[in-house]
Amino acid sequence: MPAAVLAVEGLRKEYRGQPALAGVDLEVGAGELVGLLGPNGAGKSTLTKIACGLVRPTAGRAEVLGRPAGSPPARAALGYLAELFRFPGWCSAEELLALHQRLTGSTGGAAERAELLGLVGLGEAAEKRVEAMSKGMQQRLGIAQALVGSPKLLLLDEPTSALDPVGRRIVRGLLEGLRERGVAVLLNSHLLSEVELVCDRVAIIARGRLVRAGTPAELAGAGGVEVETDAGVRLVEGAGREDAPRIVAELVAAGERVYRVEVRHSSLEDVYLEAVGGETG
Amino acid sequence: MSPSPLSSALTIVAHSVREGVRRRVFLAVLALTVAFLALYGLGAHFVFRDAREFAGGEQGILDPHAFAGATIFGLAMFATLFLGAVLAVFLTLGAVRGDAESGLLQPLVVRPIGRTTMLLARFGGAAGLSAAYVVIVYLAAAALTAAIGDWSPDHLLGPALGLALAVAIIAAISLLLSVLLPVTAQGIVVFMVFGAGLTAGLLAQIGNAIDSDSLHTIGRAASWALPFEGLYAAGLHALISETTGLTGVVLQLGPFGGSEAAAPGLIAWAVVYMLGVLALAAFAFSRRDL
């Protein structure tokens, strides 16, 4: 795995005695796109907020580029879009980005603002005021705002919840472009298909704990190998495509005749539902 | 490279000022202030005219001209403090918890600016604007009083600076309450604190008039606990501190006359108090989960 841009170890958070995070370990490397899945109230937003210094952990360690989360150098290295955010209605898109450029010390000027607005499909809306924008446009503006100053780590909490399919495709393309530029992304989302499409790794959180983690292929690929022989149909659980020749060879060596072999895939949704135990927040 | 705290603070102040201009807050304040000064000018005109008629042109032991000038200008000072307090409170309303609950604060706080700088920037903007506002309105009222009634306070600049410090303290208290309380509760509590301070000041006035040590002690304690009131009362006193005779005595006992000069150390205490409130606000803000 690439060197960790975000490193979280034994992270715990309690709100008035109620655990929101109960010891989470997670790393996100440079250029890596990690999807964080889990039911409402599982602790995804809390983890993200600790990473950007909005919430103080009860125990454990959270670091951005080796600096404590929330410290000035850590904050300087990240961009963040909250699940529930609001920008001043009187501000134009251009003014909002200029404000964040000044706060990050970005020297990108008008060229950076134009590039970012173009990236999120708001190139024609630079002078449009926030209060005149749809929720989807505001969300795309929020992503552009998070990208001001070329952050090394991007923390996105449900960034596509208000977007239509076209907006989602724009954001998906944007995230893939960020990976090529070496930006680490932690993406909180309820949209499993989206996470499966763009993320290098997926972490599933339930009741404040990390219950599953791996690449989408690893998580979704362990559906087993189904084999039909003289003795009937049987499922070799936990086996994958690479195990199929060995399974067939063993059966033939044992004197069985094999009529059909099928590598089964469980979807990310199956894995998710199994991991969270049907829990919903 | 991250900007310096000063540069970030100035960015936040400039952002707040731009918001005030765009939302026509300053235009509304300007229009209402002009209306207030016009009303004040009209009132001053009739007060000076009727005071002369009341005196009947004869020179009595009470100087009607000084009495009219000090009373109407004391009223102007009270109104200026009230308007300045309203401005200070509304410029800091919901600055922390309110903005955090609506999602406005988080995108700014995650930037390198840091919470303390952000808080001080909000204070600097609100206190600076409110202080400048009260000084301008106070001086405009003084100019009107001089033009209409040919009367000037015994001390002009001291009370103006006292008012400026008083509204800065109110802005600091309001900011602290914005960290601790939701928006509505913040607004209610800060105005109740303001009202309590003024009431205590009036109690001290009454205590002096009827020579009640208990009331006087309550009033003085309130002046130290809420030094914006002490500064205001000291300012009222300074307006007429050189006025002698029965006129001076009567004015000092009235609602718009201060019976006591600033206690030694009041201004230093007021500055320390304001810095202490800000430090408490910064500490509470640093501990708050957003």
For chain A, the helix, strand and coil percentages under 3-state DSSP, each to the nearest 5:
35, 30, 35
Residue A65 sits in the same domain as residue A170: yes
Q: How many CB pairs under 8 A join A and B?
A: 73
Residue A206 sits in the same domain as residue A106: no
Among the ranges given (A216-230, B12-26, B36-50, B169-183), the one the predictor scored with the smallest mean pLDDT: A216-230
Of A180, A196, A217, the residue that ends a domain is A217
Say how many domains are in chain B.
Answer: 1
Query: Residues A106-164: pLDDT tens digits?
Result: 999 999 999 999 989 899 999 999 999 998 899 999 999 999 999 999 999 988 888 88
Residue A146's contacts (CB-CB under 8 Å, 6 or more residues apart) are A79, A80, A81, A154, A155, A156
Neighboring chain A residues of B3 at a CB cutoff of 8 Å: 102-105
Q: CA angle at residue A184 from A178 to A185, to 5 degrees?
A: 80
Q: What is the mean pLDDT of chain A?
A: 89
Domain annotation covers residue A273: no
> Touching check for B111 and chain A: CB below 8 Å?
yes
Neighboring chain A residues of B95 at a CB cutoff of 8 Å: none
Q: The domain containing residue A31 runs over which residues?
A: 1-77+151-217
Residue A70 sits in the same domain as residue A177: yes
Rounded-to-integer distance, Cα A25 and Cα A210, Å: 7
pLDDT at B218 exceeding the cut of 80: yes
**Residue of A202, A160, A217, A158 lying closest to A35 (CA atoms):** A202
> Touching check for B116 and chain A: CB below 8 Å?
no
Q: What is the pLDDT of residue B50?
A: 84
Q: What is the pLDDT of residue B57?
A: 47
Q: What is the pLDDT of residue B276?
A: 97
Q: What is the pLDDT of residue A280?
A: 66
**Residue B213 CB-density burial (10 A; 0-12 exposed, 13-18 middle, 19+ buried):** exposed
Cβ pair A56:B289 closer than 8 A: yes
Cβ pair A105:B108 closer than 8 A: no
Residue A64 sits in the same domain as residue A171: yes
Neighboring chain A residues of B113 at a CB cutoff of 8 Å: 103
Residue A213 sits in the same domain as residue A97: no
Residue A34 sits in the same domain as residue A165: yes
Rounded-to-integer distance, Cα A26 and Cα A77, Å: 18
Query: Residues B73-129: pLDDT tens digits?
Result: 999 999 999 999 999 999 999 999 999 999 999 999 999 998 999 999 999 999 999
**Residue of B118, A42, A25 lying closest to A34 (CA atoms):** A25
Residue A115 sits in the same domain as residue A176: no
Residue A62 sits in the same domain as residue A106: no
* Two tokens, residue A227: 């084999």
Say how many domains are in chain A.
Answer: 3
Neighboring chain A residues of B290 at a CB cutoff of 8 Å: 49, 54-55
Cβ pair A54:B103 closer than 8 A: no
Q: Does residue A186 sit in helix, strand or coil?
A: strand
Q: What is the pLDDT of residue B250?
A: 67
Residue A63 sits in the same domain as residue A202: yes
Residue A38 sits in the same domain as residue A164: yes
ipTM of model: 0.81
Residue B281's contacts (CB-CB under 8 Å, 6 or more residues apart) are B119, B123, B172, B175, B176, B178, B179
> Touching check for A100 and chain B: CB below 8 Å?
yes
Cβ pair B103:A82 closer than 8 A: yes
Q: The domain containing residue B89 runs over which residues?
A: 5-287
Neighboring chain B residues of A73 at a CB cutoff of 8 Å: 2
Chain B residue whose CA is closest to A144: B107
Q: How do beta strands A232-236 and A225-229 pair? A: antiparallel
CATH number of the CATH domain containing A9: 3.40.50.300
DSSP 8-state symbol, B154: S
More confident residue, A63 or A243: A63
Residue A227 sits in the same domain as residue A248: yes
| Mean pLDDT confidence for B53-79 | 77
pLDDT at B138 exceeding the cut of 70: yes
| CA of residue B230 relative to chain centroid, distance | 11
Domain annotation covers residue A281: no
Residue A227 sits in the same domain as residue A108: no
Q: What is the mean pLDDT of chain B?
A: 88
Rounded-to-integer distance, Cα B174 and Cα B126, Å: 10
